[in-house]
Structure formats: C-alpha cells, structure tokens
Chains A and B, each alone.
Chain A
Amino acid sequence: MLKQAIENLGNHTIQGVWRIGFACRFFLAVLLHSGTAFRRFGLTIREMYFTGVLSLIIILVSGLFVGMVLGLQGYETLQRYGSESALGTLVALSLVRELGPVLAGLLFASRAGSAITAEIGLMKTTEQLSAMEMMAVDPLARVVAPRFWAGVISMPLLATLFSAMGILGGYLVGVRLIGVDEGTFWSQMQGSVDFTQDILNGVIKSVVFGLAVTTIALFEGYDAPPTAEGVSGATTRTVVTSSLVVLALDFVLTAFMFRGLN
C-alpha cells in the first residue's frame, strides 16, 4: 500500500517534470518557427480576430461591471475616512496595476485559451496536423506560431480595454450615480497614476500573462490525446492551469514591480 503510494507519487512527479520539460521545448520550438507568423502577418491578424476581437464582448462587459463595483465599494470605504475624493485614484490604480491584467488574463484563459486548445486538439484528432506535415508544411510554423503571437499581442490590448472600461464604470457609479465631484475624480487620478510605475507595469504583466496563457493553451492542444475525452481533458487543463499560473505570476511580478513603493 505504502509502496504503491510512493510509486504513484514518483510516477506523477516524473510525468509532471517531463511535461514541463516538453512544454519548455515546445515554447522554444514555437519561437524558432515564428518567422512565418511575421512574414505572412495576415495569418496572425486572422488569429487575432478569433482570440482578441471575439473576446471583446466578455472583456468589455466584465470590465464595466468590475469598475462599477469598485466605484461602489471604494466610495463606501473611502467616505468613512472623508477621502471620497480619492475614488478616482483607487479605481484607476486597482485596475491598471492588478484587476485589469489579472481578470483580463483569467477571462482570456477561459474564452480564448480554451478555444485554442479545443481547435488544435481537434485538428490533431482529425489528422489535420498530420495532413499538413505530409504536405511538407510545418504545423508549428503555419498553425501554432500565428496563434501564439496573436495571443501575445491581443492580451495587453484586451487588458488595457478592460481597465478603460473599468474606469468608465467607476466614473458612472462614483460621479454620475453617487455624486463625487467630477473634476476631483479625474484630477486625483491624473495626479496619482504614474505612466511607468503603474500603466507600463500593468501592460508588462498582461504581456507575460498572454505569453503564459497562450503557450499553455497551445501546448495542451498539441499534446492532447487524439480522442474526444483527450481534447475535453486538455481544454479543462488549459483553463485550470492558466488561471493558476496567471495568479502565481501576478504575485511574483507584483513583488518585483511594486516592491518598495511607498
């Protein structure tokens, strides 16, 4: 019983390490085969439509509601200390530093990541990738790399739009609904949000999340067993793994970026 448990633990550990190694090699192979994605940028643009444009609705609506909730909750807390004028700062910093990149990353993993995994997995299951190989066309260059770069480019744009919509939501609730002074709301925000420390770091976070989520989604699809159950499992793993990786990376990046700030 104990021996069996240890064997299982060892087996799972070896499998896990093997998969991480395989994923790293896959990531490097995608980078090496990225020439086509830039030479024929139309392929990447097409994938940006599927991963980015088709994710816009969920990103914009979620951003708006998150901003509105921030406006409500922020005002409720700040007014206890007579600091409701700082509502604009609270909403903007929360969104551009954390909520924008992280929530957009999680939504991106759920919407675009799962779609990428399912598509690549089904292409494998239906032998489309093998057919491409047999036609002397490298699937990594033709199928995977354009999707990879589309995800990496789309993610910061989506995160930025999420933050912008969130700020709009905060403005609607804080200024229009509750009655915080409009000039104070915007001027406090303008005065306290730093382009490099806050906005640029938020964009860097979203680029890293885009890299991570897209790599995981592509790898899971490419590595999926060619069965219905295999593709289903791979899609689930993409969402779960991507979400955990986004949250873990957020902590690490935050620790590096905002360490020592006030």
Chain B
Amino acid sequence: MKTPVNGDEAPGLGRIAALHSSNRLDDLQHDTLVEIENAVFGYGARPVLKGVNLTAKRGQVVAIMGSSGCGKTTLLRLIGGQIKASQGTVRVAGESPGELDRTGLYRLRRKMGMLFQFGALFTDMSAFDNVAFQLREHTDLPEDAIRDLVLMKLHAVGLRGAAHLMPAELSGGMARRVALARAIALEPMLVMYDEPFAGLDPISLGVTGNLIRRLTDTLGLTSLVVTHDVQESLKIVDYVYFVSEGVIMAEGTAAEIRASGLPYVHQFVHGESDGPVPFHYPARPYADDLGLGEGSA
C-alpha cells in the first residue's frame, strides 16, 4: 500500500500511520463500527482493492472518495456482505459480513441502510409504501403504527406531502430523499450512501447533504458516503478517505484534505483535468497514430 502522506507535506494527513499503528486504535475500538483491514478484492483477474484499511467510528459521517472505477462502491459491497474479500478482514459491529451465513447476514443487514445511486425505489409502490416496505417485512407493527412511523420518516426528509406519489412522479432529488427515508426506516446503526449527490441540482445537492449530516447527528447513526462530489461532501463529513489504484491514497478531516499538498488530492479537490490522474488514456504516441512518426510511409 502506498504511504498516504507525511506530516510535512500535508499537516494532519499522516494520521493514518499513527491511527493504524498506535494504541489509539485499541482505545477507540469500542467506538469503531466499521473496520476494514488490508482488504483485497478483484473482479476475475482484475484487482480492484489491493489492501485497503478503513475505519468508521460511531456517529461519524465518513466519505470515501476517488475517481470512477477506483473501487469505492466495491467497498460498500464488501461492508454490506454482497461480496467477500479474498484477503483481509471486514468487520461491522464486530461481525464479518462475508463470513456470516444467510440468516446472520440478513440479521446484520437489518441494522444497515443503503441509499443507492438513483434511489432504487420500488417503482410499483408509492413513496409511502416504499418507506413502509421494511417495516411491513420485518416487524409485526399494526398498520396504524406503520403509518405514523412512515409519515415521521417522510417528514424528516421534507416529503410528508409527497407520500402518495409514485416514484415516476418524483424528481431525482425527491426520489433520493424518499430512498433516504426508506434507508432509515428501521433506524439502522449504519447507513451507506452510493453517490448520493450524482445528478442533483444545486438546491437538491445542498438539501441532501444537510439531510445526511442532520440524520446522522439526530439518529446517532454512522454514515458512509461514497462520492466524488468533493465540495458538497467536505461541508458535511467528519473524515475522508481517498481511494486510488486499489489503496487508500490519503485520509484526514475535511480541513486537512482542503489543505493537502498531495498531488492526487490536490487534483481531485480542485478538479484539475491533468495530474497524477492523466487526462489521456494510455495510448501509442499521437504522431504514430496519425502516421507522422518515424518509419511511417
């Protein structure tokens, strides 16, 4: 794994070394909800994660950032137990999702919520029924109680008045908020967000970001946000991990990330088109492709 950063180049970002090697980890162990150690995973012969270390403490909003295809969503899938790391360990509330049998995994998932990139609302159900889905599936609550709970969740995301609407009648931002209400329906300990800001207008972007922060604080849950929207996420997160080339390239608080001198982080935060992540996909020399190189006829 690449060493994240040293303290001289980017104050505070060198915390990874301290965090993973000192006794602080032991001290914080009981506060740690998600812990990934040296996780390795690949799709077929293509390695995606090459030894990722990541920790999320209870009550935190933790962002996982990185360019498209770097393995951010794969990390969420590991935590959710949809895939299993070929090496290393993944622990959620002390349990390893990849090692659990189906019953155990489903028991653990009831304590998790997940917001998919485009909401993944059930299109044959109204907003109300989408939010009520888990309550009806996993509890024996009477319909009156379910109604009250659903309206409370929808009220929390500002969409109580849209309870009767079908997903096709909701805007992208509204669908994302209904999905958020659905994700917190059972008041989980952990909510994972897969690109919650993708494709949203500036108002919806701000609303969604504030909701993630507010719900995390008021419900006392832990939020893992996979995103590449740097500016919006830095406003709300407690800690950031940068994933690149299958490892954690850098990590730190929002302030530390903004101040980072690491070329990769700098390019990402400032949206520069060229840098450690090149603009051009690897190719033969341009002149050769145009037939202007040496030896060309």
**Is A131 an interface residue when CB atoms closer than 8 A count as contact?**
yes
**Is B17 an interface residue when CB atoms closer than 8 A count as contact?**
no
Interface members, chain B 82-139 (any A CB < 8 Å): 82, 105-107, 109-110, 112-114, 116-118, 120-123, 133-134, 137-138
Pair A126/B123 contact, Cβ less than 8 Å:
yes
**Is B80 an interface residue when CB atoms closer than 8 A count as contact?**
yes
- Residue numbers in A under 8 Å from B112 (CB-CB): 134
17 contacts between A and B (CB under 8 A): A122-B123, A127-B118, A127-B120, A130-B82, A130-B120, A131-B120, A133-B109, A134-B82, A134-B112, A134-B114, A135-B134, A136-B105, A136-B107, A136-B110, A136-B137, A136-B138, A137-B137
- Residue numbers in B under 8 Å from A127 (CB-CB): 116-118, 120
**Is A128 an interface residue when CB atoms closer than 8 A count as contact?**
yes
Q: Is the interface of A mostly helix, strand, loop or mixed?
A: helix
A→B interface (CB under 8 Å): 122-123, 126-128, 130-131, 133-138, 142
Pair A134/B123 contact, Cβ less than 8 Å:
no
- Residue numbers in A under 8 Å from B123 (CB-CB): 122-123, 126, 128
Pair A128/B114 contact, Cβ less than 8 Å:
no
Given A126-B123, A128-B123, answer yes or no on A135-B137 (Cβ-Cβ < 8 Å): yes
How many angstroms between the C-alpha atoms of A136 and B186 in the bound complex? 12
- Residue numbers in B under 8 Å from A136 (CB-CB): 105-107, 109-110, 137-138
Shortest distance in angstroms between A90's beta carbon and chain B's nearest beta carbon?
45
- Residue numbers in A under 8 Å from B116 (CB-CB): 127, 130-131
Count the B residues whose beta carbon is within 8 Å of the partner chain — how many? 21
- Residue numbers in B under 8 Å from A133 (CB-CB): 82, 109
Can you list the 9 inter-chain pairs with the closest CB atoms, starting with the nearest?
A: A136-B106, A131-B120, A127-B120, A136-B109, A134-B114, A127-B116, A136-B110, A137-B137, A135-B134
| Residue of A127, A135, A142 with most partner-chain B CB within 10 A | A135
Shortest distance in angstroms between B203's beta carbon and chain A's nearest beta carbon?
24
Q: How many A-B residue pairs have CB under 8 A?
A: 47
B→A interface (CB under 8 Å): 80, 82, 105-107, 109-110, 112-114, 116-118, 120-123, 133-134, 137-138
A128-B120, A133-B109, A138-B106 are known contacts; what are 20 more A-B pairs with Cβ within 8 Å? A126-B123, A127-B118, A127-B120, A128-B122, A130-B116, A131-B120, A131-B122, A134-B80, A134-B113, A134-B114, A135-B134, A135-B137, A136-B105, A136-B107, A136-B109, A136-B138, A137-B133, A137-B134, A137-B137, A137-B138
- Residue numbers in A under 8 Å from B121 (CB-CB): 128
How many angstroms between the C-alpha atoms of A33 and B85 in the bound complex? 27
- Residue numbers in A under 8 Å from B106 (CB-CB): 136, 138
How many angstroms between the C-alpha atoms of A122 and B133 in the bound complex? 19
| Residue of A126, A130, A131, A133 with most partner-chain B CB within 10 A | A131
Q: Which residue on chain B has the smallest CB distance to residue A119? A: B124
- Residue numbers in B under 8 Å from A135 (CB-CB): 109-110, 114, 133-134, 137
Pair A131/B114 contact, Cβ less than 8 Å:
yes
Shortest distance in angstroms between A226's beta carbon and chain B's nearest beta carbon?
12
Given A134-B109, A136-B138, answer yes or no on A126-B118 (Cβ-Cβ < 8 Å): yes
How many angstroms between the C-alpha atoms of A137 and B137 in the bound complex? 7
- Residue numbers in A under 8 Å from B117 (CB-CB): 127
- Residue numbers in A under 8 Å from B113 (CB-CB): 134
How many angstroms between the C-alpha atoms of A133 and B117 in the bound complex? 15
How many angstroms between the C-alpha atoms of A126 and B117 in the bound complex? 9
Q: Which residue on chain A has the smallest CB distance to residue B105? A: A136
Pair B109/A126 contact, Cβ less than 8 Å:
no
Shortest distance in angstroms between B297's beta carbon and chain A's nearest beta carbon?
30
Q: Which residue on chain A has the smallest CB distance to residue B106? A: A136
How many angstroms between the C-alpha atoms of A131 and B134 in the bound complex? 11
- Residue numbers in A under 8 Å from B133 (CB-CB): 135, 137
- Residue numbers in B under 8 Å from A131 (CB-CB): 114, 116, 120, 122
How many angstroms between the C-alpha atoms of A136 and B112 in the bound complex? 9
How many angstroms between the C-alpha atoms of A215 and B123 in the bound complex? 23
How many angstroms between the C-alpha atoms of A138 and B106 in the bound complex? 9
How many angstroms between the C-alpha atoms of A59 and B287 in the bound complex? 65
- Residue numbers in A under 8 Å from B114 (CB-CB): 131, 134-135
